[in-house]
Amino acid sequence: EVQLVESGGGFVQPGGSLRLSCAVSGFSFSSYAMSWVRQAPGKGLEWLSGVSDSGRSTYHIDSVKGRFTISRDNSKNTLYLQMNSLRDEDTAVYYCAKDQKYTWSDPGDAFDVWGQGTMVTVSS
Amino acid sequence: SYDLTQPPSVFVSPGQPASITCSGDKLGNKYVSWYQQKPGQSPVLVIYQDVNRPSGIPERFSGSNSGNTATLTISETQAMDEADYYCQAWDYPTWVFGGGTKLTVL
């Protein structure tokens, strides 16, 4: 069974840091790109970051660039999101998602498996 | 930035067809995916590359994309289809989601 299990969420003050993990099983992790998508309370989905199958290619949207870093360890079948300088507006459920392709930038790509999500609350 | 516009809500009676639209500039030139999200659950891919259904998705779900509008159609809507639906497309260099449509079956 294909599974993505996120962990690492929690409550943090503005300016703080968290590292999210996404443990993967049931498929060849090193063959697919991975993404992080977040959903603020009561709001829609927002793609944040993508990493290629090898980990050599990454991208972050402007609002998190310089603060968040996506990475992966293919030997551990785990995806990460290091989040620094957190802001109130980063409060959301964070999902890891499996891309159908080996690269996150294929226009024909889609996210065919999602984790259960981990809640991040940023508040003073 | 590229915008995908969805109606906030769609209402349908059980057994009737439901259509959810997603509009964007020259969207027909892009591939569109659709995701279903039920309350408290993670999104599920229901359509990719405009018209393709992943394994396990019922045949009543179909998609189309032309001009400036992509459409998700549920042929005979069931109570279990009540959910939020999001469209998605690639606009270099990012993935863009529509704002979501709440489908109510009543």
The per-residue pLDDT for range A93-120, each reduced to its tens digit, is: 999 999 998 888 888 899 999 999 999 9
Question: In Å, how far is B48's CA from the nearest CA of chain A?
Answer: 6
Q: A47, B97: Cβ pair inside 8 Å?
A: yes
State chain A's mean pLDDT as an integer. Answer: 96
Closest CA to B92 of A104, A69, A113: A104
Among candidates B44, B54, B95 on the partner chain, residue whose Cβ is nearest the Cβ of A47: B95
Q: A106, B88: Cβ pair inside 8 Å?
A: no
Residue-level pLDDT at A107: 86
Residue-level pLDDT at B36: 98
Residue A3: pLDDT above 90?
yes
Question: In Å, how far is B14's CA from the nearest CA of chain A?
Answer: 26
- The answer to whether A45 faces chain B, any CB pair under 8 Å, is yes
User: Alpha carbon of A88 to those of A11, A47, A92: distances in Å?
Assistant: 11, 18, 10
**Contact pairs from chain A to chain B, CB under 8 Å:** 57
- With cut-offs at 50, 70 and 90, classify the pLDDT of residue A67: very high
- Give the residue from chain A lying closest to B34, CA to CA: A110
CB A114 within 8 A of CB A95: yes
- The answer to whether A100 faces chain B, any CB pair under 8 Å, is yes
Closest CA to B32 of B42, B21, B18: B21
Residue-level pLDDT at B46: 98
Q: A46, B44: Cβ pair inside 8 Å?
A: no
- Give the residue from chain A lying closest to B57, CA to CA: A112
- The answer to whether A27 faces chain B, any CB pair under 8 Å, is no
Residue-level pLDDT at B23: 98
The per-residue pLDDT for range B19-76, each reduced to its tens digit, is 999 999 999 999 999 999 999 999 999 999 999 999 999 999 999 999 999 999 999 9
Residue-level pLDDT at A103: 87
Residue B89: pLDDT above 90?
yes
Residue A79: pLDDT above 90?
yes
Burial grade of A72 (CB within 10 A; 0-12, 13-18, 19 or more): buried
CB neighbour list of residue B98: distance below 8 Å, 6 or more residues apart = A44, B4, B5, B6, B22, B86, B87, B88
Residue-level pLDDT at A24: 98
Amino acid at B31: Y
Q: B43, A50: Cβ pair inside 8 Å?
A: no
User: Alpha carbon of A24 to those of A11, A93, A101: distances in Å?
Assistant: 24, 18, 16
What is d(CA A54, CA A103) in angstroms, rounded to the nearest whole number?
Answer: 9
